[in-house]
Amino acid sequence: MASTITLKRRISSIKNTRQITKAMELVSASKLRRAQEYAMRSRAYRELAYELLAKLNAMTEVSQQPLFEKRPVKNRLYIVVTSNSGLAGAYNANSLKLLAQNLKTDRDSKIKSKIIAIGSKGAQFVRRIQNVDLLAAYPAFGDQPTANDVRPVLNTIIDQYANKHVDDVSVIYTVFKSTVVQNVQMLKLLPAEVVPGTTDNVQISNFEPDVETVINQTATRLIEAQVWQAVLESLASEHAMRMVAMKNATDNAKDLIDDYTLELNTARQASITQELAEITGGAEALK
């Protein structure tokens, strides 16, 4: 059994840790409300934007445009969204696990992989992987990302695909469902997958003023909407998972404090009993 001094130090240390985890839980809960509101507000726009992107991709008029040209996949670009810090449960691990699975599939299929990492955790992971090109690494965009934060990522995506450096572009991010449910998802940006039912009864054959102008103006904005929503969804998921993780840590700290307090009381009682026994024995010996 540990000494009472050691047990007191352990209890004090755990209490300090519990204060930190409780504070982080409250901060994450506060940030989650704003992040959830932002993610929900633009979700409908993102879905409509992706449907329109898929419709354009299915049309013969735009099939030869740089952003919609379909090619055999020899090089694939991934945009993976992670965080700058840990202590968020399995938030980063889930995204990086899905990325690793796809990288293995590409390697088996002789497809070269390129990665844009948003968040330092993703960049650290990619740097340890051989034969993978890390095109760019951006820190997480903070609690209130702006369009200017996303624009460098967008420009890299457009440049890589239009210049035929990559033949496929996908984004890996965490979709916010609820406070306790967040799912990792991979969404293909270029060429966009045709969503079943989105091309039904669509008769678009005339472009004003011309095909090139329409594609250059709309496709870029539609792709930007996908990346923007991925960042917002991931941000809400990060705060939710960190809040739950810190709550579990706080509860575990409380349980440990209770256990060590019981052990401390037991040790103190044993020490008192031993001292009483020694005093009684000494008194009997003097007789």
CA–CA distance, 26 with 18 (Å, rounded to integer): 12
Domain annotation covers residue 168: yes
| CB crowding 210-229: b at 16 or more within 10 Å, else e | ebeebbbeebbebbbbbbbb
Question: In what order do the strands lie in the sheet containing 168-176?
Answer: 133-138, 112-118, 75-81, 168-176, 182-190
Q: Is residue 267 in a domain?
A: no
Q: Is residue 266 part of a domain?
A: no
Q: Tell me if 32 is assigned to some domain.
A: yes
Could you tell me if residue 280 is inside a domain?
no
Render 177-219 in DSSP notation, one character per residue: -SSS-EEEEEEEEESPPPPTTTTTT------SS-HHHHHHHHH
Give the residue ranges of the chain where pLDDT is below 70.
1-2, 59-64, 193-211, 216, 287
Q: 214-267 pLDDT, tens per residue?
A: 776 777 788 888 888 888 888 889 989 999 999 999 999 999 999 888 888 888
| Residue 285, domain member (yes or no) | no
Alpha-carbon span 165 to 167, nearest angstrom: 7
Which residues constitute the domain of residue 111? 23-244
Q: Token pair of 257, please?
A: 């404090």
What is the distance in angstroms between the CA of the first residue and the CA of the last residue of the chain? Answer: 34
271 within a domain of the structure (yes/no): no
CATH code for position 223: 3.40.1380.10
Q: What is the pLDDT of residue 218?
A: 77
What per-residue confidence (pLDDT) applies to 201? 47
Question: What's the pLDDT score for residue 208?
Answer: 65
Cβ partners under 8 Å of residue 110, min gap 6? none
What is the pLDDT, as a whole number, of residue 138? Answer: 87
What is the number of domains present in the chain?
Answer: 1
pTM comes to: 0.81
**96 within some domain:** yes
**Orientation of helix 120-127 relative to helix 91-108, angle to 10°:** 40
Q: Give pLDDT, residue 162.
A: 85
